[in-house]
């Protein structure tokens, strides 16, 4: 970038490996090599990644959970000046349980071009090896550690009509599995995905009760993702009329016809189509 450069700036969100360097795409490497600035969580960590790739970024700028708010203005100024700014996190896809959202939404709001070089994410990787269905799924990230927020999320997972993907630290794996077993029942299926793409990669399939026994027997090590199967039909909570009405209304305000919106909501919430349609008109007496 030169001082007189008036070309528009661009923010490129670049996914990096979740463990195996071979998963970094050639386009990701080219983008990181060509960027004027690489925003990253940890300059040492990303510096090492670039060194392993034989790249030297012109500038590394730390953007992490504790300084992202203050960095926004700096990144906007770079984009204003026509810079090509790459955004990475320590591993996987930025903003997926990682920083970056503030910078991205500020760049969009300021009218800058925002693109992505897609790639690894532990969530999607775990989902596909779990074999518990991928057509619809819920991303839970890290659960709240305690209190009513945690209880509420566990309750939602227990009643969810789709598989739930949960990130967990090894030292909390055992207690989270126990809480899930308590709420979902010990016979609910789960996949415990560990160290994906790395040397000690393992995906274990079984029930929550078995997973609890297994985790009590030996301390968990490494990075883990849990994929909890959808609730069986009898454990799903039925949505209230208000929930159905607002779900139909929100699809209609996005342009769907009432009939289409009701059909989508019916599939989403597991209620009959006719019920969703009539409820949206305030005519259901359920």
- Contact between 167 and ligand SAM (CB under 6 A)? yes
Exactly one of 193, 211, 212, 244 binds ligand SAM (CB under 6 A); that residue is: 193
User: Does residue 188 bind ligand SAM (CB under 6 A)?
Assistant: no
Contact between 91 and 97 under an 8 Å Cβ cutoff? The reply is no
Q: Which stretch binds ligand SAM (CB under 6 A): 68-76, 89-97, 173-181, 256-264?
A: 89-97
Q: Stretches 53-61, 119-127, 128-136, 143-151: which one binds ligand SAM (CB under 6 A)?
A: 119-127
- Nearest-CB residue for ligand SAM: 92
Q: How far apart are CA 35 and CA 80, in angstroms?
A: 15
CA 111: distance to chain centroid? 25
Q: Exactly one of 63, 122, 130, 191 binds ligand SAM (CB under 6 A); which one?
A: 122
Of 71, 183, 188, 224, the one binding ligand SAM by CB under 6 A = 224
12, 27 Cβ separation under 8 angstroms:
no
Distance in Å, CB of 13 to ligand SAM, minimum: 11
Pairing of strands 60-62, 37-40: parallel
Q: Judged by CB under 6 A, which of 29, 86, 96, 158 binds ligand SAM?
A: 96
32 binds ligand SAM (CB under 6 A): no
98 binds ligand SAM (CB under 6 A): yes
If one asks whether residue 196 binds ligand SAM (CB under 6 A), the answer comes out as: yes
19 binds ligand SAM (CB under 6 A): yes
Number of residues interacting with ligand SAM: please give it, by CB under 6 A.
Answer: 24
Q: Which of 68, 79, 88, 92 binds ligand SAM (CB under 6 A)?
A: 92
78 makes contact with ligand SAM (CB under 6 A): no
Return the number of the residue (169 or 281) whose C-beta is nearest ligand SAM.
169
Catalog residues that contact ligand SAM under the rule CB under 6 A: 18-19, 89, 91-93, 96-98, 121-123, 167-169, 193-198, 223-225
């Amino acid at each position: 970038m030169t001082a007189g450069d008036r070309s528009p700036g661009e923010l490129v969100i670049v996914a990096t490996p979740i463990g195996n360097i071979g998963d970094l795409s050639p386009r990701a490497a080219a983008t990181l090599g060509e960027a004027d600035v690489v925003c990253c969580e940890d300059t040492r960590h990303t510096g090492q990644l670039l060194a392993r790739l034989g790249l030297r970024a012109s500038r590394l700028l730390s953007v992490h959970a504790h300084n992202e708010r203050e960095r926004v203005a700096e990144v906007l100024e770079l984009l204003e000046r026509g810079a090509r700014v790459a955004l990475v996190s320590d591993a996987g896809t930025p903003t997926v349980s990682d920083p970056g959202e503030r910078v991205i939404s500020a760049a969009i709001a300021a009218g800058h071009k925002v693109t992505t070089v897609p790639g690894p994410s532990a969530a999607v990787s775990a989902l596909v090896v779990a074999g518990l269905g991928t057509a619809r799924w819920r991303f839970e990230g890290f659960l709240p550690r305690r209190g009513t927020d945690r209880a509420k999320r566990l309750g939602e997972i227990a009643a969810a009509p789709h598989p739930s993907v949960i990130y967990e630290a090894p030292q909390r794996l055992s207690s989270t599995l126990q809480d899930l077993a308590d709420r979902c029942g010990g016979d609910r299926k789960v996949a415990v995905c560990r160290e994906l793409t790395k040397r000690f990669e393992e995906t274990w399939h079984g029930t929550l009760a078995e997973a609890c026994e297994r985790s009590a027997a030996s301390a968990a090590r490494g990075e883990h993702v849990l994929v909890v199967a959808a609730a069986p039909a009898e454990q799903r909570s039925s949505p209230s009329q208000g929930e159905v009405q607002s779900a139909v209304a929100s699809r209609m305000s996005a342009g769907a016809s009432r009939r289409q919106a009701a059909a989508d909501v019916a599939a989403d919430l597991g209620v009959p189509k006719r019920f969703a349609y009539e409820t949206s008109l305030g005519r259901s007496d359920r």
